[in-house]
């Protein structure tokens, strides 16, 4: 019963955060302020009232149209609100029994948040904002060190330094791997095969998951993206496919599924 009540509360909090991430994901790539102006219709500039700001429900009540000019509102808004709500609940359910519980849940929710913002701005603009990667790298590396301390792995400043260098090393190894993949891709496809945003994003992911699991992320993401890129090629649509959302989904599968290297090794043998 307690779990159900917490899940409902976290779901509602997630919906509200999702609504905020929509704003962040749409505005950051345009160098717009996150705080000003307040939310408005992109078509007629009508300022949204309190009732129009309720996640998902306002979309349903207004039948997906702006109250003022009746312009269609993108279905992406409520989808990402719902997705954030659901993923926050999954963060809670995955980590509610893993010590240190609350910090782990917050850690997972923050990582999820970064992945949602990346998905939104990569789908909309094919941009992965540096601000998002830098902000979440700093916050999550500090939290990760704190969790290691709570688990008794870090006992003094020297341990802290080693742990920090290990995290940086993961980012560096990942950078080299991504760079090699890019060179290989450019050679095979005779054109730019991977954006700089994807490389930076994977450096961030490797801070969190480590470089070995990050390679698994790339494999899963490629596997997920393959059918869609084949479909695109079949339609002779030269559209470049944003790869960020696939990397985000597979990173979340590994984190929320608490899948580590041992799980994967056991799966392979
Ligand atoms: Zn409007």
* Confidence (pTM): 0.95
**Total domains, the chain:** 2
Do 90 and 149 have their domain in common?
A: no
Considering the domain boundaries, does residue 104 fall inside one? no
Residue 116 lies in a domain: no
Q: Which domain holds residue 235?
A: 126-269
For residue 71, the model assigns a pLDDT of 93
Paired tokens of 45: 């500039």
Distance 201 CA to ligand 1 centre (A): 34
Residue 58 falls inside a structural domain: yes
pLDDT at 231: 81
Which has the closest alpha carbon to 66: 36, 34, 27, 40? 40
Q: Which residues surround ligand 1, an ion (CB under 5 A)?
A: 41, 43-44, 46, 66, 68-69, 71
Specify the DSSP class assigned to residue 242.
P
Distance 40 CA to ligand 1 centre (A): 8
**Could you tell me if residue 111 is inside a domain?**
no
Half-sphere exposure of 113 (CA within 13 A, CB side): 24
Residue 160 within a domain? yes
Residue 199 lies in a domain: yes
Instruction: Report yes or no on 41 lying in a domain.
Output: yes
Q: Output the furthest CA–CA distance in the chain (Å, rounded).
A: 61
219 and 150 within one domain:
yes
- The parts of the chain modelled with pLDDT lower than 50 are none
Same domain assignment for residues 53 and 177: no
User: What does the alpha-carbon distance between residue 9 and residue 250 come to, in Å, rounded to a whole number?
Assistant: 26
pLDDT for res 236: 64
- Please give the Cα distance from 211 to 52 (Å, whole number): 43
- Same domain membership, residue 229 and residue 175: yes
Same domain, 157 and 254: yes
151 and 264 both lie in a single domain: yes
Cα 113 to ligand 1 centre (Å): 28
Q: pLDDT for 58-116, tens place per residue? A: 999 999 999 999 999 999 999 999 999 999 999 999 999 999 999 999 999 999 999 99
- Residue burial 35-65, b: 16+ Cβ < 10 Å; e: rest: eeeeeebeeeeeebeeebebbbebbeeeeee
The end-to-end CA distance of the chain, in Å, is 39
Q: Give residue 96's pLDDT.
A: 97
- Nearest CA to 19 among 66, 64, 70, 56? 56
Q: What pLDDT does residue 93 have?
A: 98
Q: How far is the CA of 39 from the centre of ligand 1 (A)?
A: 11
């Amino acid at each position: 019963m307690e779990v159900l009540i917490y899940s409902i509360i976290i779901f509602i909090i997630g919906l509200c955060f999702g609504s905020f991430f929509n704003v962040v994901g749409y505005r950051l790539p345009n160098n717009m302020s996150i705080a000003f102006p307040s939310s408005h219709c992109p078509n007629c500039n009508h300022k949204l009232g309190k009732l129009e700001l309720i996640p998902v429900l306002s979309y349903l009540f207004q039948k997906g149209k702006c109250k003022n000019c009746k312009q269609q509102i993108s279905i992406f808004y409520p989808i990402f609100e719902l997705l954030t709500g659901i993923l926050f609940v999954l963060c809670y359910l995955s980590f509610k029994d893993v010590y240190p519980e609350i910090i782990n849940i917050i850690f997972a929710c923050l990582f999820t948040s970064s992945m949602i913002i990346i998905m939104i701005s990569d789908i909309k603009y094919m941009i992965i904002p540096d601000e998002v990667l830098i902000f979440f790298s700093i916050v999550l590396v500090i939290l990760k060190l704190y969790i290691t301390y709570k688990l008794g792995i870090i006992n003094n400043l020297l341990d802290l330094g080693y742990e920090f260098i290990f995290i940086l090393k993961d980012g560096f190894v990942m950078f080299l791997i991504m760079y090699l993949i890019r060179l290989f891709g450019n050679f095979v496809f005779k054109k730019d095969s991977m954006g700089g945003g994807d490389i930076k994003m994977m450096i961030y992911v490797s801070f969190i998951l480590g470089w070995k699991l990050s390679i698994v992320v790339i494999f899963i993401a490629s596997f997920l993206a393959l059918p869609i890129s084949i479909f695109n090629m079949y339609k002779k649509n030269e559209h470049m496919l944003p790869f960020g959302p696939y990397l985000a989904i597979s990173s979340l599968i590994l984190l929320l599924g608490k899948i580590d290297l041992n799980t994967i090794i056991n799966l392979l043998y």
